[in-house]
């Protein structure tokens, strides 16, 4: 399904009803909007893992503009302020009120952009394996720790010049280190990708990223999850986010022996924690 949001049509998918029979009445459950990582990927890597969340909430999968099955739009609008505003516009188009917005990796950056630009809109926020400021030095250090000097060099070349050859080498040498559990081959095979957007982000947005000064604007309860062995967005990045937020707003949970996207390495702990946070 696609819906018009500003100058583009955004693709989305839904699991779980909003209204559910409960005796003599219909019970309304929260709506969770999932913001995928990448950038340049799509929502497919959430499936089937997040299907279990539909027992607790209505789950909405969204492809960002320029990503996945959404319209590419104007490349000049491939930036975090626009992606953040798109989340608000998407909710208005579908009349979603008080959403719980969950962003993983790049999706977490979009979630922070949205929540700092529209602080009254979200009911809750979940930030998983993400960062508010660009610290590629941390990432290179973790890649070397997990894979040695050769892997560090592969990552450095990709960060500095994310062309087709560097991207292919990065996917071969660096992606396998993202998680403790090997990702199935279909993780990449089924994704609808936009390599041009990926390259554009690493050449521009990644070098200027700094959401830290605005994080104190976020008012809603925020759960932050991070993997201790995450090489691309190390746990120190999540600690920075928690420290920059207003007192009492954020709760940081660090997962030992977990990498990027802790739901992949420790699904039972993550989804139990997520259910409790949503229903609290």
Identify any residues that bridge with 31 across adjacent strands, giving them in sequence order.
Answer: 58
Q: How far is CA 18 from CA 1, 27, 97, 195, in A?
A: 17, 8, 12, 35
Alpha carbon distance 167, 154 (integer Å): 9
How many distinct structural domains can be found in the chain?
Answer: 1
Tens-level pLDDT at each residue, the chain (280 residues): 999 999 999 999 999 999 999 999 999 999 999 999 999 999 999 999 999 999 999 999 999 999 999 999 999 999 999 999 999 999 999 999 999 999 999 999 999 999 999 999 999 999 999 999 999 999 999 999 999 999 999 999 999 999 999 999 999 999 999 999 888 888 889 999 999 999 999 999 998 999 999 999 999 999 999 999 999 999 999 999 999 999 999 999 999 999 999 999 999 999 999 999 999 9
Q: What is the CATH number of the domain that holds 68?
A: 3.40.50.1820
pLDDT of residue 186: 84
Alpha carbon distance 186, 252 (integer Å): 31
pLDDT of residue 173: 96
Task: List the domain range (segments joined by +) for residue 139.
Answer: 2-279
Rg (CA), the chain: 18
The answer to whether the CB of 174 falls within 8 A of the CB of 159 is: no
pLDDT of residue 184: 80
């Amino acid at each position: 399904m696609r819906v018009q949001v500003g100058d583009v049509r955004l693709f989305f998918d839904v699991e779980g009803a909003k209204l559910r029979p409960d005796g003599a009445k219909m019970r309304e459950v929260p709506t969770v909007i999932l913001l995928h990582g990448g950038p340049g990927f799509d929502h497919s890597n959430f499936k089937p893992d997040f299907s279990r969340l539909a027992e607790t909430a209505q789950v909405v999968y969204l492809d960002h503009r320029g990503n996945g099955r959404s319209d590419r739009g104007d490349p000049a609008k491939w930036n975090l302020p626009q992606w953040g505003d798109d989340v608000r516009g998407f909710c208005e188009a579908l009349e979603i009120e008080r959403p719980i917005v969950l962003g993983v990796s790049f999706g977490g950056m979009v979630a922070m952009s949205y929540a700092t630009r529209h602080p009254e809109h979200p009911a809750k926020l979940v930030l998983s394996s993400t960062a508010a400021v660009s610290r590629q030095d941390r990432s290179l250090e973790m890649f070397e720790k997990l894979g040695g000097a050769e892997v560090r060099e592969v990552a450095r070349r990709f960060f500095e010049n994310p062309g087709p050859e560097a991207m292919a080498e990065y996917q071969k040498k660096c992606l396998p280190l993202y998680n403790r559990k090997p990702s199935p081959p279909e993780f990449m095979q089924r994704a609808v990708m936009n390599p041009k957007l990926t390259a554009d982000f690493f050449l521009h947005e990644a070098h200027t990223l700094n959401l830290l000064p605005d994080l104190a604007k976020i008012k809603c309860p925020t759960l932050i999850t991070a993997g201790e062995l995450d090489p691309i967005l190390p746990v120190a990045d999540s600690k920075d986010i928690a420290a920059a937020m207003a007192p009492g707003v954020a709760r940081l949970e660090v997962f030992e022996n977990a990498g990027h996207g802790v739901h992949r390495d420790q699904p039972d702990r993550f989804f139990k924690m997520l259910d409790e946070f949503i229903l609290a």
